[in-house]
Structure 1
Amino acid sequence: MSRIRILSEQLANQIAAGEVVERPASVIKELVENSLDASAGRIDIHVEGSGGTLLRVADDGCGMDGDDVLLCLERHATSKIREEGQLAAISTLGFRGEAIPSIASVSWMTILSRPQTQELGTRAEIRYGTLRDVHQAGCGRGTVIEVRHLFGNMPARKKFLKSARTEMHHIEEVVRNQALAHPQVGFTLHVDGRVALEYSPGADLQRRVREVFRYRETLLPLAVAAEDEGDGMMLEGYLLLPEAAQATNARLRILVNDRPVQDAMIRHAVVEGLQGFLMKGFQPAGALLLTVSPDQVDVNVHPAKREIRFRRSEAVHRFIVDRVAAAMCGYQQSQRHSLFAPPSSSSRAWPVDSGEALRSVPPAMTMTTAEPVEQQPLPAMDRYGRSTPAMAAPLAAPPSPASPFAVVPSPPAGGAAGLTLIGQLFSLYLLCEREGQLVVIDQHAAHERLLYGQLRQGYQEAQIPRQTLLFPVTVELTPAQAETLEQKSEAVAALGLQAEPFGEATVVIKAMPALVSHVEPGGLLREVLDGLRGPLPVAADRTVPQAVDDLLASMACKAAIKAGNRLQPAEMLKLLHQMETSEVFTHCPHGRPVVKTFSSQEVERWFHRHGG
């Protein structure tokens, strides 16, 4: 007697339900996707008892007639595809014809549906996969599906459900994801009789992103114009600026062809596009909507359709990296304009683009006469990173103590337009004013970003400036470091280090990168060798390997002005001028913000002043 038997339809449906219906949120996902495929303009969702008591999805879509209501209960019955060729270019959310029979096999299900062309609808009642009743009934256009007693016939499965709060969290995530993917559709989630989530139909994407995430922060738009489309791909969405990123990766929603998915490759591309702006260990947040030709993506690789596979994943990765990086470039340009555009009116204190200004000093705050102060340029700011002679005239001496008004020392002419330099705070921050805004600049982060740009450009052009050491330095290396130096001597030289063997595990350092010539040579060489130990691949969309980029950022950090360095006015102005002419200045290469602005209204609120 044969031991192999064909399973009953009921058992087969329950097995399929194990893949498709993991928890109450899975039911909501499948039913909402059916509603969206039916061209619904509004979807109402009701949940009771965290889904164990009731799950109800109602839509105003195209509806089903009596025959289709019965057919949708059969396995692999679907209106989405008809032939094998369509499976390679799926444009609908559902296509397998498994969801309804699988859900019906583990619950009490009621279906009520009516198409526009009929006056009466059809009502069907199913209990754990068995059709109990079907008859005509009055109802509005669209479909309503109720699911009760989920997993009532599978108590072992029910025990695997988490707490009520956890299950509701998963349901809310499903609704949020679908609301992001379909901003033109209205969604309402009712939980135990109260409205938990509500999104109006007809929203634009930015409004829907703000509604779903409750963002008030500035958003980085990722919209790509039609003429910029590449290979049939389109990218749109909104990301939080990098300084608002968090350590969790749960706040980046990825949608491909209106389908919420989990895709590590896309997430990696977004992170790479934000390189140099995102702090290490932090993840981007927001919503990214990628549209590709249906025949370029396989959505039939996961039982719950949470994962997908691109036919040309490298092209997709490069496309996203380029578009995200371009969006950040555009943001940099807007920030440069907002900070450095010429002001419409004059300001007090040190105008960055003026050589002289006055400020009021109370009579009790007199200043003593002092000798002129010799100005010094920013440390390591010349091309070769060495100290240079002062280039500006000495600062003017302050007036005599008898005068109630003090003349601020005149900074050198020229500099950045639009900002008015106030001074330095805590020997760490530059304070500036710009037309109703207080601008605070981290001097170390700003200088670090500028030096990083110089080092990176020098590396790309194979000419990082070197400085020959007056006395060569002998350094002992570990066997692994010595092996790395032997294998990657060209990469070490490209970073501005000249190190030659001087024994089995000893080298002599003869030259250093000019910008970091004051750093201990042995420590720098060891850091470089440790950083270069792994492979150095260069992707098609990058010009600097990641390991090298990290080393350049570390060099810039070591060479930059430090917290606690008190700067002269000319040095501060020079830093501002270099920020103005830099392509990137809002974040240090490790992702920390360089600039923070506060409106005059915010400052007034600090002191409980309201409109004066």
Structure 2
Amino acid sequence: MSRIRILSEHIANQIAAGEVVERPASVVKELLENSLDAGATRIAVQVEGGGTRLIRVMDNGAGMDEDDVLLSIERHATSKLRDESQLAAIATLGFRGEALPSIGSVSRLTILSRPRDRETGTRAEIRYGRLHAVHEDGCARGTIVEIRSLFGNVPARKKFLKSARTELYHIEEVIRNQALACVGAAFSLRVDSRSVIDLPAGGGVEQRVRDVFRCQDPLLPVDFTAGDEKNGLRLSGYLLQPEVSSSRTNRLRILVNGRPVRDRMIRHGVVEGLQGFLMKGQSPAGALFLQLAPAEVDVNVHPAKLEIRFRSSQEVHRFVVQAVAAAIKAYQEEVRSDIFSIPAPSPEQAAVPLFTAEARRPLPASSPPEAGSGPGEPVRRPGNMAVRRSAEPAASFRHDQAPFSAVKPPDSLADFTGLTLIGQFAKLYLLCEKDDRLIVIDQHAAHERIMYQRLRRDYLRRDIPGQNLMFPVSVELDPRQLETLKRYDADVALLGFAVEDFGESTRVIKAVPALVSHLDPAEMLAEILASLCSAPRDEPAAVVPPRIDHLLASMACKAAVKAGNRLAPAEMFELLRQMKDSELFSHCPHGRPVVKIFSKQDIEKWFHRL
């Protein structure tokens, strides 16, 4: 007798249920997809006992007659596929025909449905995979699916469920994701007779994002289309502002061709596009909708359709990075025009220089650099690469200048930025006024972003200026540092260092980056080598490798004006001018915000004047 046997239909359905029905939230997901595919515009969900005692989903969709109700509980019975050719261009959320029979095999399932052209509906009752009763019943047009005693016949599965509170959280996440996928439908959730979610229809994508995230702050719009229309790539949606993001990684909701999915590659692209705008430990939040040709994505690789596969994942990743970066740039321009908007200068005003040559130099560090050799003299880098020494020595901040009130800047300075400078607070924040708003600027974060943008630009041009040292500095390196320097010698050279061998473990530093030439060369090199040694493996698609980007941000931080530096009025205006001209300025490269705006209304509320 053969030892191999064909499984019974009941056992096969239970196995399929293990793939499709992972937890109560999986049941809700499958039923919501069926409702949306049926054209429902109102979907109400009721849950008791975390979903194991009761799940009821009611919709006003197309409904089913008796024949369709009976077919819907058969395996691989679906209204969404007619032939093989449609499989490559799936547009519906569900299509396998496995959901209802799989759910029915591990629960007590009741279906009550009525199509538009029938006076009465059909009720079908299934108990743990076996049809118990079918009869006519009165009901409104649409479908009601009720699941009781989920996993009642498989206690081993039920044992692995989490607490009712955790299971409810996953159900809420499923409903919010599906609500984003179909903003034209209304969704509600009641838990033990308590209303938990109520999302009305008709408010548009932005309002639905606000409702889902309970966010009233300004959103960052994303709308980017690929130049090559062959794949139909388009990314749209809204991201929450970086300062209201959190450490939770599930706050970014991704939908591909209208289908909520989990995709690390897309998430990584969003994070890379937001590079320099998220603080350490923060994760992006918002809802992004990726559209592309159905033939370019395979949605049939996961039983629950939560994971997908792209034909060209690297191309999609690059596109997502570009789309998010473009959104950030557009956001910067909006903030720039809001803060720095000024009327066009008259020809007479345009002809008057606002700053002398000295004042127009980059804002210096808090202490002057050491003098070097002659201007413009090149310094040889390892590997026959030359460090360009800045021909113009950097100026330094002077902290012995007259008090703010004693120095009156030219009137044209205020006109240049569109801001009225009030002064400096706590030797760290610039206080400005514009249009009945108080604008507070972190001087260190602002200057750090300006320096970072300049270093990044010079790095991409392979042209970071170096500063010759009047007296070369000898350093002793341990074996690990020597190995790191040997491995990353080209990177160290591109950062503006000139380091030469001087014995077995001794190296001589002859030049350092001009922006940080006032710092201790040995400490700076040691810090860079430590950072390079512990740097993660670079992503192939990164324009600036992460290890280099981290170093550029660190150099910018050290070069920027510090907290505690008292600035003269001309220096404050110069910082504002450089902010206005910087490509990006709203956040420092470590993600901290640079600007905070308080409206007159905000302040009057604080003092109870409203």
State whether TM-score is above 0.5: yes
CA distance in 2, matches of 1:97, 1:538: 40
CA distance in 1, matches of 2:518, 2:43: 65
Distance apart, 1:413 and its partner CA: 4.2
Residue equivalent to 1:153: 153
Give the SS at the match of 2:509. Answer: strand
Distance apart, 1:591 and its partner CA: 0.9
| 8 Å contact kept, 1:376–1:570 | no
Pair 1:159–1:459, CA change in 2 (3 A)? same
CA distance in 1, matches of 2:7, 2:554: 63
Residue equivalent to 1:409: 408
Residue equivalent to 1:53: 53
Pair 1:291–1:443, CA change in 2 (3 A)? same
| 8 Å contact kept, 2:45–2:55 | yes
Report how many aligned residue pairs link the two structures.
573
What is the root-mean-square deviation of aligned Cα atoms in Å? 2.7
Residue equivalent to 1:245: 245
1:463-512 CA distances to partner (integer Å, 9 max, x unpaired)?
21111101100111122322232333222111100000111221100011
Residue equivalent to 2:130: 130
Residue equivalent to 2:494: 494
Distance apart, 1:414 and its partner CA: 3.4
The correspondence of residues 280-295 of structure 1 with structure 2, limited to 5 A, is 280-295=280-295
The correspondence of residues 53-202 of structure 1 with structure 2, limited to 5 A, is 53-202=53-202
Pair 1:89–1:376, CA change in 2 (3 A)? closer
TM superposition score normalised by structure 2: 0.89
Distance apart, 1:412 and its partner CA: 7.4
Distance apart, 1:411 and its partner CA: 4.5
- Bigger mean CA offset, 39-48 vs 422-431: 39-48
TM superposition score normalised by structure 1: 0.88
Pair 1:395–1:162, CA change in 2 (3 A)? closer
> Are positions 1:481 and 2:481 aligned together?
yes
Residue equivalent to 2:387: none
The correspondence of residues 193-342 of structure 1 with structure 2, limited to 5 A, is 193-224=193-224, 231-342=231-342
CA distance in 2, matches of 1:93, 1:212: 20
CA distance in 1, matches of 2:573, 2:417: 11
| 8 Å contact kept, 1:396–1:409 | no
Pair 1:389–1:186, CA change in 2 (3 A)? closer
> Are positions 1:37 and 2:37 aligned together?
yes
Pair 1:438–1:53, CA change in 2 (3 A)? same
Distance apart, 1:133 and its partner CA: 1.2
Residue equivalent to 1:548: 548
- Bigger mean CA offset, 77-86 vs 226-235: 226-235
CA distance in 2, matches of 1:340, 1:539: 38
Give the counterpart of 1:388 among 388, 395, 417: 395
CA distance in 2, matches of 1:473, 1:203: 65
Distance apart, 1:609 and its partner CA: 2.1
Pair 1:143–1:384, CA change in 2 (3 A)? farther
Residue identity (%):
61
CA distance in 2, matches of 1:354, 1:420: 19
| 8 Å contact kept, 2:407–2:569 | no
CA distance in 1, matches of 2:532, 2:49: 56
CA distance in 2, matches of 1:421, 1:35: 58
Residue equivalent to 2:348: none
Pair 1:377–1:228, CA change in 2 (3 A)? closer
Give the SS at the match of 2:421. Answer: strand
Pair 1:389–1:267, CA change in 2 (3 A)? closer
The correspondence of residues 505-544 of structure 1 with structure 2, limited to 5 A, is 505-533=505-533, 539-540=540-541, 542-544=542-544
Unaligned residue ranges in structure 1 (runs of 5+): 345-352, 356-373, 399-406
| 8 Å contact kept, 2:437–2:599 | yes
| 8 Å contact kept, 1:384–1:515 | no
1:568-602 CA distances to partner (integer Å, 9 max, x unpaired)?
11111111111111111111111111111100111
Amino acid at match of 1:336: R
| 8 Å contact kept, 2:364–2:397 | no
| 8 Å contact kept, 1:354–1:414 | no
> Are positions 1:8 and 2:8 aligned together?
yes
Pair 1:390–1:585, CA change in 2 (3 A)? closer
Amino acid at match of 1:190: R
Amino acid at match of 2:395: T
Give the SS at the match of 1:223. Answer: strand
Distance apart, 1:236 and its partner CA: 1.2
Distance apart, 1:390 and its partner CA: 9.6
Distance apart, 1:41 and its partner CA: 1.2
- Bigger mean CA offset, 74-83 vs 552-561: 74-83
Give the SS at the match of 2:573. Answer: helix
Residue equivalent to 1:566: 566
Amino acid at match of 1:61: G
CA distance in 2, matches of 1:36, 1:199: 15
Distance apart, 1:115 and its partner CA: 1.9
CA distance in 1, matches of 2:360, 2:67: 89
1:237-261 CA distances to partner (integer Å, 9 max, x unpaired)?
1111112111111211111111111
CA distance in 2, matches of 1:108, 1:233: 43
- Bigger mean CA offset, 499-508 vs 297-306: 297-306
- Bigger mean CA offset, 291-300 vs 477-486: 477-486
Residue equivalent to 1:448: 448
Distance apart, 1:137 and its partner CA: 2.4
Distance apart, 1:230 and its partner CA: 7.1
